[in-house]
Structure 1
């Protein structure tokens, strides 16, 4: 389902960039470091590192060649490069990086503990590992929560595809435990809240037609009459401001820790 960067950006990428900027600043990695962006996707975290952390270099890793192509086309800083690889088998020597980070990726990795262990392996002693995920389980990602609430009301079987059901890692406790279980010390977690306003209903609905992610994939599989019914239910249910915009918010859980000396 992750195949088109142009479709991902209006769906989730535009909001991930807001979280990435705050996430990177909070890590407080000294300037001049070497970074690894695991599951870099279209490059949101890499761009945040370049803008806020004064790195010596950043290497983004992702298994999707389409997403890597998008990142290369939109990130022109010579300090950044992008390579195709899997999160559970990073193509880096151990102990070489100052920081390894991952935004919105670990819930899509079947072996998340192995991916976390790989991130720990590639940072030097005292180096930092940081990750963040949307809060699906407690409804913090309101745009997607509204979609699944409407979908489940029309089709109870849709619940098994809901990220809140499929991704138990997306909580403060689970994410912190993952990093602690990978051997990191001084593990801290925090919430990052960002506004996710939509100009109108079309601005909300159209990105779901791009096929990028569980909800758009579910929508693409529906026959036209059921898709229309879901659209109508959502259009009636979403909140509206006086100017017709849709004022939603999102919450991400972030966790970070240091590799022991």
Structure 2
């Protein structure tokens, strides 16, 4: 089976806007994800596409690792992560997820958070993660459920389609078909991994106000903010106004949504 992604012009690399957009929610998923993995203490880990180190931090906090080698293609993310994690067990490198600078069978667990759908060749990334993992080690990842469960983004894209029309909107649900249980399972099985399990991880995403929801979309980091920045001001305003009318706003002005991610894990046995 071929697992290719449509090339994108999404911008990634500025840590501050990314944290406001999805980093703060990724941290909550990462905590549940690492608990689900139930890795043994003292393991060597690789965090592929570490971003601002949400998953690296969760591994340090909950898994008692011996070491973590975290990599990301963005020097900005790597700089932010290394500056904010003062732990001798963790080291950070700028590298490509499709050509990992790690020796074969050099870690006990290779993991990734919110990255797999953004690489051009997901199967190559999973194969690389399997390559660097020792026999009976874990290969695992999580991605957002763009089709419906990640409500913050789903609401945005629905409003964008209503304003601009479906032909003009690069909806992540259609761009990233890999972000669903069966495509994920196929990737892991095709990579020769066994005991493959897929599960949903749901977290609340509560925004203190409409501005708390909307401002991260103006940060030009990620698929939706990058696309939004290319629209005319009147189109941006129309999307904002529609969202402000339709989001479920509480009497105190807060907005309570849910975010769902799909998580997958499997063992390398060969």
If the length of structure 1 is used for normalisation, what is the TM-score?
Answer: 0.98
Whether 1:197 aligns to 2:206 is yes
Deviation (angstroms), 1:172: 1.2
Give per-residue Cα distances to partners, 1:121-154, cap 9 Å, x unaligned: 00100010000000012x1000100101001001
**What is the distance in 1 between the residues matched to 2:111 and 2:50?**
9
**What is the distance in 1 between the residues matched to 2:133 and 2:163?**
47
Whether 1:100 aligns to 2:110 is yes
Paired residue for 1:40, among 36, 50, 55? 50
Unmatched 5+ stretches in structure 2: 1-10
Deviation (angstroms), 1:159: 5.5
**Which moved further from structure 2: 69-78 or 108-117?**
69-78
Whether 1:62 aligns to 2:72 is yes
The residue matched to 2:13 in structure 1 has which SS?
A: coil
Task: Note if contact 1:151-1:158 (Cα within 8 Å) is conserved in structure 2.
Answer: no
Whether 1:172 aligns to 2:169 is no
Whether 1:206 aligns to 2:211 is no
Unmatched 5+ stretches in structure 1: none
Deviation (angstroms), 1:118: 0.2
**Which moved further from structure 2: 149-158 or 31-40?**
149-158
The residue matched to 2:215 in structure 1 has which SS?
A: helix
Task: Note if contact 2:27-2:54 (Cα within 8 Å) is conserved in structure 1.
Answer: yes
Paired residue for 2:27, among 17, 39, 63? 17
For 1:9-158, what aligned pairs fall within 5 Å after superposition? 9-137=19-147, 139-157=148-166
For 1:214-233, what aligned pairs fall within 5 Å after superposition? 214-233=223-242
**What is the distance in 2 between the residues matched to 1:38 and 1:216?**
23
**What is the distance in 2 between the residues matched to 1:179 and 1:131?**
10
If the length of structure 2 is used for normalisation, what is the TM-score?
Answer: 0.94
Give per-residue Cα distances to partners, 1:193-218, cap 9 Å, x unaligned: 00001000000000001011111011
Task: Note if contact 2:109-2:133 (Cα within 8 Å) is conserved in structure 1.
Answer: yes
Deviation (angstroms), 1:160: 4.5
Deviation (angstroms), 1:156: 1.1
Whether 1:235 aligns to 2:244 is yes
**What is the distance in 2 between the residues matched to 1:53 and 1:95?**
20
- The aligned residue for residue 5 of structure 2 is none
**What is the distance in 2 between the residues matched to 1:248 and 1:237?**
12
Task: Note if contact 2:49-2:72 (Cα within 8 Å) is conserved in structure 1.
Answer: yes
Task: Note if contact 1:148-1:158 (Cα within 8 Å) is conserved in structure 2.
Answer: no
Give per-residue Cα distances to partners, 1:221-246, cap 9 Å, x unaligned: 11111111111111001001222100
**What is the distance in 2 between the residues matched to 1:189 and 1:53?**
20
Task: Note if contact 1:6-1:70 (Cα within 8 Å) is conserved in structure 2.
Answer: no
